[in-house]
């Protein structure tokens, strides 16, 4: 089981650790620079002391030895050490590192005078250590204040995210309204966007289920009542010879309506999958299953690949052809085009019109009023464009598939 962890706590810890590492690196770099600069400064002071001692000796003719301590001086006049020092004689001018000492030698070019001035290494280290200690002491309060400042800064930066989390925590499970989070940073903005998309899908599915239940209850009431009445007459022995036929017709109408309602429910829920299929093969299969004469013009194509799920395409064609057969006056045609595309057309009676709404149908219709509603919703889910046209005596519905005009999508028969 994964242990719960806090984003703010993790950020604070890591930023504090990074700040401490940067502080230590800064102190180390400062110590290096200070050590170098102090060494140069002390060497400069040794050189100045040597020049001053040489000048004073030339002017006074003698100097007394320095008292024992962290510094010492040697003066050599004519090869004789007038004042001696606790290190071995140095033969070259300039700064020299000797055991326990840092020595600067200066020779007078106009005489035999040589001055050597030195500091003990221990004194130099103590001075450097004291300088670094003051540096750390001055920077330490900044380091100690960093966690407090970092915690406050991280908390302030995460406040929009914590408000968003608190808002989600307080939402009811039944609340499917969109999540509002206008002040989230760009790194977290995809979260409410994805959540709202998910909520939209849930709302659509719930609404589809609710609408299906409402539609089923409303539309099945009449055929169920009719079938029940005929069954009661038959059971009571009061039915005539045509009662069985009327019962079978009522049950058939009820089965047809249930099938249409299930198709509509799947269309509302977006159940059609993506894929590709052969338009020519699907058209021939639907025509064979229709049981109604259809004039089929395949535009001399043997195959025509379209980016549509085969079940969705079959459902659209079946509803278009059935709607045309039920509500037209004959001469039903299905014509393919090499784009590829297709058109379903039929003759119509005067005053005919397309009924696009759910359960919308003419007074003379015996159908459920769902055919074109199913076509529209499935086509929209598959990206198919549907065009409706009607002139004086013919109605036509044309389908334009996505990626129309793709070279090689249709194969013309030789």
Sign of CA dihedral 274, 275, 278, 284: negative
Q: Return the pLDDT at 368.
A: 53
Decide if 180 is inside a domain. no
Q: Are residues 259 and 375 in the same domain?
A: no
Kindly report which listed range (57-61, 76-80, 383-387) carries the lowest average pLDDT score: 57-61
**Residue at which a domain ends, from 133, 157, 181:** 157
Q: Residue 352: which CATH number?
A: 3.30.565.10
Q: How far is CA 23 from CA 26, 33, 128, 182, in A?
A: 5, 15, 19, 37
Query: Is residue 44 one of the residues assigned to a domain?
Result: yes
Q: Is there a single domain that holds both residue 390 and residue 330?
A: yes
Of 218, 243, 268, at which residue does a domain stop? 268
Are 11 and 141 members of one domain?
Answer: yes
- Cα separation, 25 vs 21, in Å, equals 6
User: 365 and 335 in one domain?
Assistant: yes
For residues 327 and 260, membership in a common domain is answered with no
- Bigger pLDDT: 256 or 344? 344
* Domain count across the chain: 3
Let me know if residue 316 belongs to a domain.
yes
Residues 129 and 46 in one domain: yes
In a domain, 105, yes or no: yes
- Our CA angle for 300, 303, 307, nearest 5°, is 130
Q: Which residues contact 96 (CB under 8 A, 6 or more apart)?
A: 90, 102, 103, 104, 105
Percent of the chain whose pLDDT exceeds 70: 76
At residue 209, the 3 state secondary structure works out as helix
- State yes or no: pLDDT of 230 exceeds 80: no
In this prediction, residue 328 carries a pLDDT of: 80
Distances (CA, A) of 178 to 74, 175, 184, 197, 204: 90, 9, 15, 9, 13
Do 300 and 259 share a domain, yes or no?
A: no
Residue 268 has pLDDT above 60, yes or no: no
Residue 182 lies inside a defined structural domain of this protein: no
With respect to residue 169, please indicate whether it lies within any of the assigned structural domains: no
Structural domain contains residue 177: no
Question: What is residue 280's predicted lDDT score, i.e. its pLDDT?
Answer: 92
C-alpha distances (whole Å) from 87 to each of 73, 96, 98, 119, 123 are: 10, 11, 7, 11, 16
pTM (predicted TM-score): 0.45
Domain range holding 13?
7-157
The whole-number average pLDDT for the span 324-344 is: 86
pLDDT of residue 358: 55
Give, for 196, the enclosing helix (H) or strand (E).
Answer: helix 190-236
Domain membership of residue 329 (yes or no) is yes
Shared domain for 145 and 262, answered yes or no, is no
Contact 352/332 with Cβ under 8 angstroms?
no
- What average pLDDT does this structure show over 167-190? 81
Torsion over CA: 243, 246, 250, 252 (sign): positive
Residue 258 and residue 300 in one domain: no
Please state, rounded to an integer, the average pLDDT across all residues of the chain.
78
For the chain, state the CA radius of gyration: 49
Specify the range with the lowest mean pLDDT, choosing from 62-71, 298-307, 319-328: 62-71
Which of 184-188, 192-196, 225-229, 340-344 shows the lowest per-residue confidence on average (mean pLDDT)? 225-229
Q: Where does a domain end: 215, 235, 268?
A: 268
Is the domain of 319 the same as that of 224?
Answer: no
| Together in a domain, 264 and 297 | no
392 with 358, same domain: the answer is yes
pLDDT of residue 405: 44
Residue 215 pLDDT greater than 70, yes or no: no
């Amino acid at each position: 089981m994964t242990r719960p962890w806090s984003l703010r706590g993790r950020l604070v810890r890591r930023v504090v650790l990074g700040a401490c590492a940067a502080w230590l690196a800064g102190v180390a770099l400062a110590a290096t620079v200070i050590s170098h600069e102090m060494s140069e400064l002390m060497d400069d002071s040794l050189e100045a002391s040597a020049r001053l001692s040489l000048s004073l000796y030339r002017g006074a003719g003698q100097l007394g030895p320095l008292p024992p301590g962290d510094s010492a001086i040697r003066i050599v006049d004519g090869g004789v050490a007038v004042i001696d020092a606790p290190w071995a004689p140095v033969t070259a001018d300039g700064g020299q590192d000797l055991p326990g000492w840092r020595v600067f030698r200066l020779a007078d070019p106009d005489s035999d005078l040589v001055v050597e001035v030195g500091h003990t290494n221990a004194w130099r280290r103590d001075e450097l250590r004291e300088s670094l200690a003051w540096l750390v002491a001055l920077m330490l309060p900044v380091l100690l204040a960093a966690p407090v400042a970092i915690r406050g800064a991280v908390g302030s930066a995460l406040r929009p995210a914590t408000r968003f989390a608190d808002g989600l925590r307080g939402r009811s499970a039944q609340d499917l309204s969109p999540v509002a989070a206008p002040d989230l940073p760009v790194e977290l903005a995809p979260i409410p966007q994805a959540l709202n998309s998910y909520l939209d899908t849930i709302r659509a599915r719930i609404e589809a289920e609710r609408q299906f239940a409402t539609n089923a209850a409303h539309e099945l009431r009449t055929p169920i009542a009719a079938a029940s009445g005929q069954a009661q007459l038959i059971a009571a022995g009061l039915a005539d010879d045509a009662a069985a036929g009327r019962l079978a017709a009522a049950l058939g109408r009820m089965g047809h309506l249930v099938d249409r309602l299930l198709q509509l429910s799947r269309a509302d829920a977006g159940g059609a999958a993506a894929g590709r299929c052969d338009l020519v093969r699907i058209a021939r299969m639907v025509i064979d299953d229709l049981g109604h004469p259809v004039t089929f013009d395949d535009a001399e194509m043997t195959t025509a690949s379209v980016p549509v799920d085969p079940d969705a395409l079959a459902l659209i064609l079946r509803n278009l052809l059935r709607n045309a057969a039920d509500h037209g006056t004959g001469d039903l045609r299905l014509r393919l085009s090499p784009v590829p595309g297709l058109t379903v057309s039929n003759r119509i009676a005067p005053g005919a019109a397309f009924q696009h709404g759910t359960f919308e149908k003419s007074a003379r219709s015996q159908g459920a009023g769902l055919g074109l509603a199913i076509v529209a919703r499935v086509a929209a889910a598959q990206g198919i464009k549907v065009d409706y046209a009607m002139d004086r005596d013919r109605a036509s519905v044309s389908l334009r598939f996505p990626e129309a005009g793709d070279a090689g999508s249709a194969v013309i028969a030789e």
